[in-house]
Copies of this chain bind each other. A is one copy, B any other.
């Protein structure tokens, strides 16, 4: 149900269909918003944002975006032209050696291996024969030292929630899971610095911190499954970048095990440390190709005392942009999220998840979140902004929520878009940074370009960060449709000097698109860094770096 979700600002502001809001009937449920059987107490579901991780509570429970058995997913090596590199093959002696390092935590059972061989999107499948579950940094070090000597390839895996196939093996790489490295090491309640092992689940950390009046500086749709180590390894973006910045700024220190087993301890808890090169930065966003992150020190902001969420309808993308500018000016330091979605997204969450639009139908919707230290002040600021936006027609409908349950309902509309898309058919996913003025042009362009060959073309994302999630669905995978999309989408993005991967990373699937966003000198330097840190190339091979020399 959609109870009590009524606007707090004067009724006269609602020029568009004011009757729809059922003013004067605060106890009359307005609309049904929950999916059948779903409760708002559920873990936040995946949807639009996904960050780089993009896994769902479904994945958390062993399900996935598609309902088939993992073994039904085509092998990566069948779908993509990729050659195995000359690594050694895991032998019985190797298994025995691993068993000595990790007694009882060397997994070779088919079922558990099936799950870690397949990515959440179910479009990639490797055939690893062994899964290792260390508990300590020292164990990771011993494993990598052994693998380095034996020339065995290793795929580090956190929550396995990535969108670009970065966390699953391509051939028979050993899967090194951080799932048992899930301890909080220390939290300092004056500085707000959290130190924890890499395998802590983001949502568990969030809960741990909320109990202590702090929050994590990042939030993703996949929070119920993703690991903080994976978040850092993929430089996860998500819902709080607008307010708290990227992990390059909030991560204070890392402990990393290098390819040869060397433990690199840069796990400082200091806000400032200019002693030499900032080595931890190398590993943030390197997708496990330069080292395995084993522990993280991160600066956490105090929990805001007041949070508001406004869900607004805009008549066009120009108005979305103007609403954003007004927001930044009028909400200033309390603005904590500015997300947008188009009418097609709303249609999909309605059709596949039975979510209902809480405002009058519009061409675009924006979700504005404020977080501040005074409910009264924030409310005054938000009301002033809404009065302005409604008064000049930037916004034609809207609703505001201040209690947790209602805010989650509004967030679900935005966050569950990915889930709705995965139920719409085969999904071609693009995650692009563009100058905000041009953000939606590519969506319009593709609708024209693809015509009826695509089922749905949608655009949504973190507008405040210039980050568009562009998704195209079709009944099934089709090389023709792929050919119409690529390299066109990448070329279009490159022409705007955008990024072909804003937050999802490159992983396996996007590695050959790197050249659209980085010049040859940068790619050469990347190769140089890889050779310096992992001369045998055993760490997450076939990922991040382009396949072509």
Interface residues of A, Cβ cutoff 8 Å to B: 52, 188, 190-191, 234-235, 237, 241, 245-246, 248-250, 258, 262-266, 268-279, 281-282, 284-286, 290, 302, 304-305, 321, 325, 328-334, 371-374, 377, 380-381, 433, 435-437, 462, 465-467, 497-506, 510, 513-514, 516-519, 521-523, 525-526, 528-529, 532-533, 544-545
Copies in the complex: 2
A291 CB to nearest B CB, Å? 10
Known: A246-B249, A264-B525. A272 touches B467 (CB 8 A): yes
Chain B residues within 8 Å of A52, by CB: 274
B278 touches A517 (CB 8 A): no
B506 touches A276 (CB 8 A): yes
A302 touches B281 (CB 8 A): no
**Which of B250, B278, B521 touches A235 (beta carbons < 8 Å)?**
B278
A14 CB to nearest B CB, Å? 25
Which 6 residue pairs across A and B have the least CB separation, nearest first? Answer: A249-B249, A332-B373, A281-B281, A273-B499, A272-B502, A270-B433
Q: A103 to B249, alpha carbons, bound, how many Å?
A: 41
Chain B residues within 8 Å of A276, by CB: 285, 506, 514, 518, 522-523, 526, 544-545
Residue from the set A263, A273, A321, A510 with the largest chain B CB neighbour count within 10 Å = A273
A437 CB to nearest B CB, Å? 7
A270 touches B191 (CB 8 A): no
A532 touches B523 (CB 8 A): no
Known: A265-B521, A521-B264. A333 touches B373 (CB 8 A): yes
Q: A516 to B266, alpha carbons, bound, how many Å?
A: 13
Chain B residues within 8 Å of A265, by CB: 519, 521-522
Known: A262-B521, A522-B276. A271 touches B465 (CB 8 A): yes
B532 touches A275 (CB 8 A): no
Q: List 12 A-B pairs, Cβ < 8 Å.
A: A191-B466, A269-B497, A271-B467, A274-B502, A275-B506, A281-B282, A302-B332, A304-B332, A304-B333, A331-B373, A333-B371, A333-B372
Chain B residues within 8 Å of A270, by CB: 433, 466, 498-499, 502
Chain B residues within 8 Å of A519, by CB: 264-265
B191 touches A435 (CB 8 A): yes
